[in-house]
Amino acid sequence: MWDYTEKVMDHYRNPRNVGKINDADAVGVAGSLTCGDQLKIYLKIKDNIVTDAKFQTFGCGSAVASSSILTEMIIGKSLEDVKKITNKDIADQLGGLPPEKMHCSVMGYEALEDALKNYGYQDLDDLREPEKAEKIVCTCFNVTENVIWDAIKQNGLKTVEDVTNYTKAGGACGRCKSLIKDIIDTYYAKVKSDNQLSPTQRILKINNIIETQISPELQKDGGDINLVDVKDNKVFVKLHGKCSSCKNATLTIKRFVEQTLKNAMDDNIEVIEV
């Protein structure tokens, strides 16, 4: 038996906004009969505000609950706000979903995205981001690279199993598992390179960590520390007061200063006392 929250149970028992809007301004679809779940969402939109939403779902309890709560979340909202909704928001609104059921919330997100796309709504993010690939990664469940990428980004997914729980990709024949692994690796490589700082930014960040996290701790013991120089991964520091004559100084530097900097920056940092 799944560990469904009261909210999930309430929504599959008494789903809100069920049905079809015949003169809908936007319709979005996600999933398929063969895959075991499908969601259709119908929107009425006036002056960029969602004035009504209805859904039809073929799927399990969490799929119905995700669809139902999604309609509640978007009615009355501007398209700008609706566009910001992620699968995680849907799951959070339900008080959480079992990991194996997260793909139901992703289905809600996909149907919503599909509806907005069909309506022709684009926000700044869409314009900034390069053309998203519609390449199918998982042929069993027709999951695109785009969907996997969004799921990783919105939920911080780390493993292939996570991706399967959230998107179903890799859940049947498993042949696409290495492709999924590649997408995860590419995503985190991109995150890392996005986070790369210029040399000046890096020195400022190290100095900031020393001043706010390390120095106050040393001051408690009557000592202090300041940054002298940064060369590649080598961080040169000078110790003052009690610290400078303390026999345990080396130990202090190695254990505390270095670890603090490693945690905040990266594992290659080496601290040298001058």
Partner 1 sequence: MIYLDNNATTKIDERVLDAMMPYFTDEYANPSSMYNFSKKASNALKEARGVIKDFVNAKDEKEIIFTSCGSESANTAIRGVLNYNKAKKHIITTKVEHPCVLNLYQTLEKQGYKVDYIGVNSNGDLDLEQLEAAITSDTALVSVMWANNETGVIFPIQKISEIIKSKSPETKFFVDAVQVAGKIPMNVQEMGIDMLGISGHKFHAPKGVGALYVNSKTMITPLIIGGHQERGKRAGTENVPYIAGMAKAAELAIDSLNYEMTEVKRLRDKLETTILKRIYNSRLNTGVANRVPNTTNIGFEYVEGELILLHLSDLGICASSGSACTSGSLEPSHVLRAMNVPFTAIHGSIRLSLSRFTTEKEIDFVCDKLPEIIEKITAISPYQDELAALKKLKNK
CA dihedral 176, 177, 181, 186 (to 10 degrees): 10
The residue range among 51-59, 88-96, 145-153, 253-261 that interacts with partner 1, by the rule CB under 8 A, is 51-59
Among 25, 52, 100, 224, binds partner 1 (CB under 8 A): 100
Does 95 interact with partner 1 (rule: CB under 8 A)? no
CA dihedral 129, 131, 135, 137 (to 10 degrees): -10
The residue range among 12-20, 122-130, 192-200, 236-244 that interacts with partner 1, by the rule CB under 8 A, is 12-20
Which of 126, 128, 146, 127 lies closest to 138, judged by CA? 146
Among 171, 176, 239, 243, binds partner 1 (CB under 8 A): 171
Q: Which residue has the tokens 């809908």?
A: 24
Contact letters for partner 1, residues 53-72 (x by CB under 8 A): --xxxxxxx-xx--------
Tell me, yes or no, if 140 is annotated catalytic: no
List for the chain the helix, strand, coil content (%; round to 5). 50, 20, 30
Contact letters for partner 1, residues 132-161 (x by CB under 8 A): ---------x--------------------
Tell me, yes or no, if 35 is annotated catalytic: yes
Q: Between residue 25 and residue 44, which ones bind partner 1 under the rule CB under 8 A?
A: 29, 33-34, 36-40
Runs of H (alpha helix) within the chain: 6-13, 61-74, 79-83, 87-93, 102-119, 124-128, 145-155, 160-167, 177-194, 199-209, 215-220, 242-245, 249-252, 258-264
Q: Which residue has the tokens 């998982």?
A: 138
The catalytic site residues sit at 35, 104
Q: Which residues bind partner 1 (CB under 8 A)?
A: 9, 12-13, 15, 18, 20, 29, 33-34, 36-40, 55-61, 63-64, 98, 100-101, 141, 164, 168, 171-172
